[in-house]
């Protein structure tokens, strides 16, 4: 029987025991019996409190388990996805993960942010114009900035992901 169902049944049983003890109190009993029934009711109330806490804790554990299962599935999918990319040099000292031509599946060649990649996340780099004479790329996910090739002398060149540049 699932733990949550067991806890629910135990709570219901304890509630019935509490009502039973109250029923005894409502009948004419001597003081000694009334005192023992009162002790019993206090014990039942303590048990109810403990069961409610256990039920709440169990709910939290189930929610965490569900989140971990989702994360596990995501990481498994990422394990397959990340193999579609190869580490390439964007510029001296700047490396990114680029979609392999053999793994395109109809997608255009694009680059992924190495920081997000290391975090098992897919952050695409988008061209954001020139910065200090370098091609400038920004991660769509973490907003990390990357400087690419130095092209100050050709400031009006559009970025071409495969390395081709207009004007040459
Ligand atoms: Zn990123």
Distance 111 CA to ligand 1 centre (A): 11
Q: 81: which 2 tokens?
A: 């996805």
Which of 11, 13, 34 is CA-nearest to residue 23? 34
Rounded to whole angstroms, the Cα distance separating 163 from 135 reads 12
pLDDT tens per residue, range 57-70: 999 999 999 999 99
Rounded to whole angstroms, the Cα distance separating 40 from 27 reads 16
Which of 139, 121, 138, 5 is CA-nearest to residue 59? 5
Distance 2 CA to ligand 1 centre (A): 42
pLDDT tens per residue, range 130-148: 998 999 999 999 999 999 9
Distance 121 CA to ligand 1 centre (A): 8
Domain positions in the chain:
3-80, 84-154
Arithmetic mean of pLDDT over the chain: 88
Distance 115 CA to ligand 1 centre (A): 5
Q: pTM, whole model, 2 decimals?
A: 0.63
Place of tokens 């023992």: 36
């Amino acid at each position: 029987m699932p733990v949550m169902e067991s806890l629910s049944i135990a709570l219901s049983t304890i509630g019935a025991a509490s009502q039973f003890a109250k029923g005894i109190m409502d009948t004419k009993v001597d003081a000694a019996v009334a005192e023992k029934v009162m002790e019993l009711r206090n014990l039942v109330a303590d048990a109810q409190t403990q069961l409610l806490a256990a039920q709440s804790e169990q709910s939290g554990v189930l929610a965490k388990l569900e989140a971990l299962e989702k994360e596990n599935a995501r990481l498994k999918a990422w394990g397959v996805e990340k193999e579609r990319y190869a580490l390439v040099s964007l510029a001296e000292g700047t490396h990114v993960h680029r979609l392999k031509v053999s793994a395109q599946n109809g997608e255009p060649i694009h680059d992924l942010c190495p920081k997000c990649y290391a975090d098992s996340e897919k952050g695409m780099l988008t061209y954001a114009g020139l910065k200090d004479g370098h091609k400038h790329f920004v991660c769509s996910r973490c907003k990390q900035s990357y400087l690419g090739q130095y092209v100050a002398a050709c400031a009006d060149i559009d970025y071409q992901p495969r390395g081709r540049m207009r004007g040459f």
